[in-house]
Structure 1
Amino acid sequence: MTTVHPVRRPEAADSLPSAGDERSTAGRRADRARQIVGRTAPWLVRGVMGVAVLVFLLLAVGPHVFGYRTMTMLTDSMAPEIESGDVTVVTAIGVTDVTEGMVLAYHMPIGDGSLVTHRVISVEQAADGSVQIRTKGDANDEVDPWTATLEGDTAYQVRAVVPELGHLVTLLRTPVVNQVLIYGAPLLLATWLLLSIWRPRRSTDEDVEA
C-alpha cells in the first residue's frame, strides 16, 4: 500500500520563530516605556518652557511695551468676576473719564493705604475740581466705609483678568522655587536639546524561512 504525503509549496512553509521574539515581556515593556518617554518628554519640556516665557512676557515685558500694569488679587471681595489669586491687567485712564460701573484699582484713603480693587458705584466732583468715588466689592454686602479722592490726572481701570496666575507668581517667588529655577532651567534646556537629538531606535525582527 502506497501512502501519499501532501507537498507544500515553498512560500507556504511555516516560519521559525526569530531570535528577537524570545525577548521577555519585561523587555518589551521597557522598550515601549523608553519610546513613550522619548516622545512625550520633549513636549513636556517645551510646554514648561513655553509657559515660563509667556508669564515672563506678560509680567515683565508687556508693562514696558504696552503700558499696562498687573496686580494680584488677594481677597474674594470681587468674586466671582475676580477671585483671590487672579491677576488683573489695568490701564491708565483720565480721572474725568471715571464712571459708575467701572472696576478701579486705587489706594484706600484709610489705614495703611493698601491697594484695593472694587467697583465704582458713585462719582462726584468736589468744589476744588478733584474727583471723589464710592466703591463696593461685588461679593460684599456693604459699601466701602470711605470716600476716596482720586489723586493726580489718572486712574487705573481693570481691563482683563488672568485666572489663578497669581498663585503661580507667588510660588515662583519662594526661595526654594527660585533656587530650583536657577539650577533647573539650564538642566531642562540641556535635556530638551538631548531629547531633540536622541530618538529611540526601533528594532525589526527578520523572518527566518524554513
Structure 2
Amino acid sequence: MTTVHPVRRPGTADALSPAGDERSPAGARADRARQIMGRTAPWLVRGVMVVAVLVFALLAVGPHVLGYRTMTMLTASMAPEIEPGDITVASPIAVSDVTEGMVITYHMPIDDGALVTHRVVSVEHAADGSVLVQTKGDANEAIDPWTARLEGDTAYEVRAVVPELGHLVTALRTPVVSQVLLYGAPLLLAAWVLLSIWRPTPTDDTAPEKEDQA
C-alpha cells in the first residue's frame, strides 16, 4: 500500500493555533484610550469650529448686518440681571420711545463719556425735542449723579444678555492668546479639513486567510 505524505513548500511554517491576547491590562487600556480619542477628536474640532463661527457672527457680523451693538459688562452695577463678564446685546430704538424701566446703553455726560448700561428711572422731553434721562444701576443704592441728554434720534435698549462670554472676549484680546489664535486657528482649520477627508477605512481582521494549495 502506498502512503502519501503532504509536502510543504520550502520556507513555509506550520500554522500555529490562535493564542490569547497577551497584551497587559495597561496596554489594553492605552489602546482603548486611543480608540476613544480617535472617535472624539474630529467631533471636538468640529465643536470648537462651530462655537468660533457663532461667536464671530454674534460679535463681528451681526452688528453690521442687523444694526445691534454688543458690550462687555465690566461692573456689578446691574447685578444680578447683568453680571460682570456678560455680553449685552442692545438694539436701536427711537429716542422718543425711551420710557422708564428700560435698560439702555448710552454715553455718560461726565469725564470721558464712557458707555454705561443702566435702567431708566425718569424721562423728560425738553422743549427743543431732546430727551433727558436719569438712570440707576439695579445693584446701586442711589440714582446716577447726572442727567443725560440722549443725542441724535436713536437710543440703544438692551434686549439680550449672553452670560460669561465677555470673559472669553477679554481673554482673546490678550497679546499671548491673540498670537496663538493667529497661528493656531489656521492649523485647527487645516486639521479639521484633513480629519474630514482622511477618515480611516474599517477593516475586517476576522476574515480567513487564503490557504496555500499544494
Note whether the superposition's TM-score is higher than 0.5: yes
Using a 3 Å threshold, how does the CA distance of structure 1 residues 135 and 99 change in structure 2: closer, same or farther? Answer: same
Q: SS state of the match for residue 189, structure 2? A: helix
Q: Relative to total residues, which structure has the larger helix share, 1 or 2?
A: 1
Q: How far apart, CA to CA, are the structure 1 residues paired with 2:94 and 2:69?
A: 16
Greater mean alpha carbon deviation, residues 136-145 or residues 183-192: 183-192
In structure 2, distance between residues paired with 1:103 and 1:174: 30
Match of 2:120, SS? strand
Number of equivalent positions: 192
SS class of match (1:50):
helix
CA deviation after TM superposition for structure 1 residue 25, in Å: 2.3
Match of 2:107 in 1: 107
Is the counterpart of residue 173 in structure 1 residue 173 in structure 2?
yes
- 1:129 corresponding residue in structure 2: 129
* Partner-residue secondary structure (3-state), 1:85: coil
Within 5 Å, which residues of 2 pair with 1:34-183?
34-183=34-183
Larger displacement relative to structure 2 (20-29 or 142-151):
20-29
Higher RCO (CA 8 Å, separation ≥ 6 residues): 1
Give the gaps of 5 or more residues in structure 1.
Answer: 1-15
- State the distance in 2 between where 1:81 and 1:204 align: 59
- TM-score (normalised: structure 2): 0.83
- Aligned CA-pair RMSD: 2.1
Segments of structure 2 that go 5 or more residues without pairing to the other structure are 1-15, 209-214
| SS of aligned partner of 2:90 | strand
Counterpart CA distance in 1 for 2:202 and 2:36 is: 12
Alpha-carbon offset, residue 182 of structure 1: 1.5
Mapped partners of 2:30, 2:206: distance in 1: 17
How high is the TM-score relative to the length of structure 1?
0.84
